[in-house]
Structure 1
Amino acid sequence: MNVADPYADRHLIDEATHRSLTLCRAIISNPNTDTNIRISCLAKCVSLLDALPKVREFDVQATREIKQKVPSKTLAKPVSDDPHIWPPELIQILLDRAIALKDLATAYRQNGDAQNSAYNFDRAVTLLESFVLASPLFSLAQSNEDTKSIAINTLLQVLGDWADVEQSLGRNAKAAKIRMRTDKWRFRQ
């Protein structure tokens, strides 16, 4: 790897990430895998996807624009101000990351850890909302419309699960706010 430019050998990073994700997903999908190992592998998947340079670039831009309350039409425009849309592989990575967080939250919930479950549901909702708001800038392709539909349906499911977890923690006011947020997204669909 090039020490002067850590991103000079991106193909090596992408290849190593792909191999690690493949291994983690194989462990996760094995029905004999222990719950704690499944949780560790899901957390590793999220960590690997978070570390990808193109994902970090998306996150930096999306966070900046959300904090500045920029209209959703400009959310997640590529940092380079290139008029082209985000590449299709980024779309799948962003959706995979949000779904991995949802799965991680669900695994924590099944393991009886409501606090970590709530935290990961919160993060999954944030990522799915950013994804849906940025989706007009991804592509006009039909497959991406299907991906957006999957993201919205997943978002609605995650919001419902998150509200249930918050209620189980005795946070009824927060659960009510999350349910109102669910209704808002349901009507936007």
Structure 2
Amino acid sequence: MTNQLKTATFAGGCFWCMVKPFDQWDGIHGVISGYTGGHTENPTYDDVKSGKTGHYEAVAITYNPAVITYEDILTIYWQQIDPTDDGGQFHDRGDSYRTAIFYHDEGQKELAEKSRQAIAESGKFSDPIVTKILPAQVFYPAEDHHQDYYQKNEAHYQKDRAASGRDEFIANVWGE
């Protein structure tokens, strides 16, 4: 096994809610909130929220594959989203809040496709899985105040997350 760090990139709705679930694991060296998958260079939060850039809100995760596998990271990802909703995630609506896995190499693509198939066959969802698997594109880090939001603005983060319906969904599908 190698100690060389790798990157995994996921869109799962509001990036504020996608940092903490990954940030807590051994082998994760960083989680950056940002934008990817669109056609506008150096977009701002307001640009992306306008729906005109084509970008997704996403997280770029730097990890050590000798400590945590890409398969483990995929499992964490699937347990944070509603993979059947193509209109956004929970109370965040619009294209920038859709789900996607952005693969960085053919190995990640193959594992992502295999995991999506397993989710589809799991019986946990009656609707089709709509999460896209796309080649990684340029990732633009979000503005500083969006980074580690769950730590910097804990009260607002918890209030927003509680109002979103995400935690109830996760508990209903995956258990506590």
TM-score, normalisation: structure 2: 0.30
TM-score, normalisation: structure 1: 0.29
Q: Which has the higher contact order (CA 8 A, sep 6+)?
A: 2
